[in-house]
Amino acid sequence: MMTFDDVKKEVEMYREKYGHDICSDAYIDGDDDDVAGYVFMPNDITGYTQEYQLSTGRERHCGLGRGCFWTDWN
């Protein structure tokens, strides 16, 4: 299980390590309040969106470049 606070802590850890602009703010999915995530390197084509299913702790990600797709929940 994961909490929204855990996701926010992950964002803060990356910001402390790489600088404030490395990640977007953490968010809760507007359509599914069991999914939280953030965008890593939002201004770079090599960036990606990281999401967590809060009730299970499973995660998935999707690149920001053209043709990228969501991975399966792991």
pLDDT tens, residue by residue, 32-56: 889 999 999 999 999 999 999 999 9
Residues sharing a CB contact under 8 Å with residue 37, sequence separation 6 or more, in sequence order: 7, 26, 27, 29, 49, 50, 51, 52
Q: Is-above-0.95 flag for pTM?
A: no
pLDDT the model gives residue 32: 82
pLDDT bracket for residue 72 (50, 70, 90)? very high
**pLDDT at position 30 over 80:** no
Entry field: residues in the chain? 74
Q: Which of 39, 30, 34 is nearest to 52 (CA)?
A: 34
pLDDT the model gives residue 13: 97
